[in-house]
Amino acid sequence: MGLEGTLRVFSLTDIFQVLGLQRKSGVLTVDGEDDTITVFFLEGQVVSAESAARGLDNRIGTLLVRAGRLSEQDLTRVLEMQKETQQRLGFFLIRERLVAPEDLREALRLQILRIVFSSFRWTDGRFRFTQEGPIDYDADHTSPMPMESILMEAARMLDEWPLLQKKIPSNDLVFRRAPGVEGLRLAVAGAAAVEEGVLAVSKPEAEVWRWIDGERSVADTMERAFLSDFDVLKGMADLLGRSLIVEGRARPEAPVSVRALPAPRVAGPTVLVWALVLLLAALAAYFVPRSPWNPLLRPRDETREIADFLKALSLDRLVAIERAVRVYYDTSGRYPRSLEDLVVAGILEGEGLRDPYGRHYRYILRPENGKFGLYGHNARGDIDLDLSFERTLAPVSELHPVPARLRQMEVRPGVQVIE
């Protein structure tokens, strides 16, 4: 399957979800404004990720050094060995017993997640997925990451990130340990028996505490801590909530001298000419690809690959809606009269009620027949039989249908009840 498009049309969350659902193996390349990342999939699981900004192996070595797991001299030595043999960096780190295997595995996992999660926040760019060529990754030290765990963690991160940024609005801030607790020892709760006088905390809190010194900024801590960027912010926010750290001094920035330039003067006729040019360009961009006489610039959603992708994505959303309908029944004892009930109940987000084309899914409740149906649409807006299915109601549900007079008052747009 070859697939390409823009992040304005498909979010990376949707792309990852479909690739995981279809258990695809291949390479996903995403071109953003400041970086290009490459993610390798093996049967729907992520096994490696690379960033064009910095090589993955060098980044792993840098993380290990900054986290205190490896010395700079040892890193320099194994990088020279790597140049001569082209073996992976991890091979030499383990062979020379410079890094514990569990630390290397954690470093690989963290670097992959940092690359993947940073791209999830991109709102513009282009992506391309191809199944050509072998999937090259460090199978000895990398465990394939299930798509479900990545998407669940990404959803938690995207939900909580704005809240964390309210508490820590800038990565240039510097924090120091609160007066009176500078020498306090923190330990991870549950990892081992906590000694007397040691405060049991979460792993992010304990790791971040190591690097809080009143000199390092949040960005510096993100580079050094053996955590994802999200967990660093989470650990700092929790330490702030415990009043264990306080904001110290912000890293000084060199003043920038900006000389005001006079505003350019634009003649009235020139503005009209440019407005006309922009209008013609907009009309051409809209009508030329849709012209039946133009075989080269067809809309992307007319290609077979994009159509298959959209159908798979729509089917995945329909399955999620069906599960939500069952959950609604299990919790309320009745079936929703409209899909909007699922949003009101907090079971689904409003976005989940629309297909990739922005249309509402059709939901039909037939209590007298003991069934309900869910229906999706194709690109033209017609009901797609591949996206249409009926399910049986629970035996005890809807035994007494609501009278027609009351049902007319209750039914909202998006649902049709068949007598």
What pTM value is reported for the model?
Answer: 0.56
306-347 pLDDT tens trace: 677 777 778 888 888 888 888 888 888 888 988 888 888 888
Q: Check whether 362 has a pLDDT greater than 50.
A: yes
Domains 168-247 and 304-417 share a fold: no
The residue type of 126 is R
Q: At how many degrees (to 10) do helices 101-120 and 147-167 cross? A: 70
Residue for token digits 């306090």?
Answer: 184
pLDDT of res. 218: 92
Q: Check whether 364 has a pLDDT greater than 80.
A: yes
> Residue 52: helix, strand or coil by DSSP?
coil
pLDDT of res. 271: 67
304-417: CATH topology is Glycoprotein, Type 4 Pilin (3.30.700)
pLDDT of res. 55: 59
Q: Tell me the pLDDT band of 237, cut-offs 50, 70 and 90.
A: very high
Share of the chain above pLDDT 90, in %: 11
pLDDT of res. 173: 93
pLDDT of res. 267: 54
Q: Check whether 174 has a pLDDT greater than 50.
A: yes
Q: Tell me the pLDDT band of 298, cut-offs 50, 70 and 90.
A: very low
d(CA 20, CA 16): 6
Q: Tell me the pLDDT band of 396, cut-offs 50, 70 and 90.
A: low
Q: Tell me the pLDDT band of 107, cut-offs 50, 70 and 90.
A: confident
pLDDT of res. 58: 52
Q: Check whether 299 has a pLDDT greater than 50.
A: no
Number of CB atoms found within 10 A of residue 315's CB: 18
pLDDT of res. 2: 66
Q: Tell me the pLDDT band of 416, cut-offs 50, 70 and 90.
A: very low
Q: What is the CA radius of gyration of the chain?
A: 27
58-67, 227-236, 266-275, 325-334: which has the minimum mean pLDDT? 266-275
Domain 168-247 belongs in CATH node 1.10.4100: no
244-261 pLDDT tens trace: 999 876 445 555 454 554
Q: Check whether 13 has a pLDDT greater than 70.
A: yes
Q: At how many degrees (to 10) do helices 101-120 and 56-66 cross? A: 120
Taking a C-beta distance cutoff of 8 angstroms, is the pair 1, 308 a contact? yes
Which residues make Cβ contacts (< 8 Å) with residue 44, sequence separation at least 6? 19, 20, 21, 22, 23, 24, 25, 147
* Residues found in the chain: 419
Taking a C-beta distance cutoff of 8 angstroms, is the pair 147, 19 a contact? yes
Residue for token digits 């240039």?
Answer: 172
Q: Tell me the pLDDT band of 285, cut-offs 50, 70 and 90.
A: low
Token pair for 277 = 């040019």
Give domain limits for the chain: 3-146, 168-247, 272-299, 304-417
122-170 pLDDT tens trace: 888 899 999 877 787 888 888 888 888 888 888 888 788 888 888 999 9
Q: Tell me the pLDDT band of 279, cut-offs 50, 70 and 90.
A: confident
d(CA 79, CA 87): 10
For residue 106, how many C-alpha atoms fall within 13 Å in the half-sphere facing its CB? 13
| Three-point CA angle 105, 108, 113, nearest 5° | 125
d(CA 249, CA 214): 7
